[in-house]
Amino acid sequence: MSSNNENQKKYTYKVGVRRDGDQEAWAPSNTISGEATEVGLEVAAGRLDRMEQEHQKQEGRLQKAQLLEELRDTKDDEVILTTAFSNSDVDMRLQAVKRLDDQKFLKQVAIGDQNIGVRKAAIAKVSDQGCLIHLVYNDPSDEIRTCVVERLQSDSVRYKLVLDDACPAVRRIALNNLRDQDLLCSLVLNCSEKPIRRMALEGIQRQASLALIAIHSPNSEDRFEAVFRLSDPACLQDVLEKSPVDDVRQKAEYRLKTLCR
């Protein structure tokens, strides 16, 4: 009887897994009747693999942080330039671009880098309007063109973008930055899109332009809004004399009387 009981006992062995001669993990094998399984071995091996991978990642992060710090502090233009154009790591290229001052190289990065973030960092430092205009008209990325339009200085280019560009964000930013009163007035008088006209009208400050809209706009809402914003008696008198619309003349007359009280 005792012999049978002993044969029915379940034995648990510990299987050792040794790596690199200095790490050892032990896991139970869950054996029955002395027959070891490989489950414990696989679990231990997987755990060690994950530990090694995490250790390598941590070392990589520390090394990268050190390189970024060195790049921030370096005075070596050649190192900065080489990193900006040749380093495979996006963060390293981005840091190098922040250190770049040469417009020729900044333009090359703005046009040619494969990463949008790096390109945008270069665009933020590019002062060459010709390069920026080329990008806003020709770059396939709307995100890049949206970034570029913020840097434009030409109202005529902004005006063309408002009229013709296919990207709503580019058009909106171009219109928000448009300051030329004649071009804004032209948009109010000629654009068929109400949101564009309304935004353009909000940007008009010159009284003569508002009077022109009050007299000549084909849209009644725009005419009345222009009259409402007029505060110059001479411009209101001009509207009163030249507008072909009775309601507009009446509103101009009312505004004149209000101002003269």
What is the domain count for the chain? Answer: 1
Instruction: Give a yes or no: residue 23 inside a domain.
Output: no
Residue-wise pLDDT for 216-245, tens only, equals 999 999 999 999 999 999 999 999 999 999
Domain that includes residue 99, residue range: 63-127
Instruction: Give a yes or no: residue 209 inside a domain.
Output: no
Residue-wise pLDDT for 136-160, tens only, equals 999 999 999 999 999 999 999 999 9
Q: What are 227's two structure tokens?
A: 């009259």
Q: What is the pLDDT of residue 106?
A: 96
Report H helices in the chain: 2-8, 39-73, 77-86, 90-99, 103-112, 116-123, 129-138, 142-149, 155-164, 168-177, 181-190, 194-203, 207-216, 220-229, 233-242, 246-260
Please say whether the beta carbons of 165 and 174 come within 8 A.
yes
Whether the pLDDT of residue 256 is over 60: the answer is: yes
Instruction: Give a yes or no: residue 101 inside a domain.
Output: yes
Instruction: Give a yes or no: residue 164 inside a domain.
Output: no
Instruction: Give a yes or no: residue 140 inside a domain.
Output: no
**How large a percentage of the chain has pLDDT more than 90?**
62
User: Amino acid identity of 77?
Assistant: D
Residue-wise pLDDT for 63-85, tens only, equals 667 766 777 778 888 888 888 99
Q: What is the pLDDT of residue 196?
A: 97
Instruction: Give a yes or no: residue 204 inside a domain.
Output: no
Instruction: Give a yes or no: residue 35 inside a domain.
Output: no
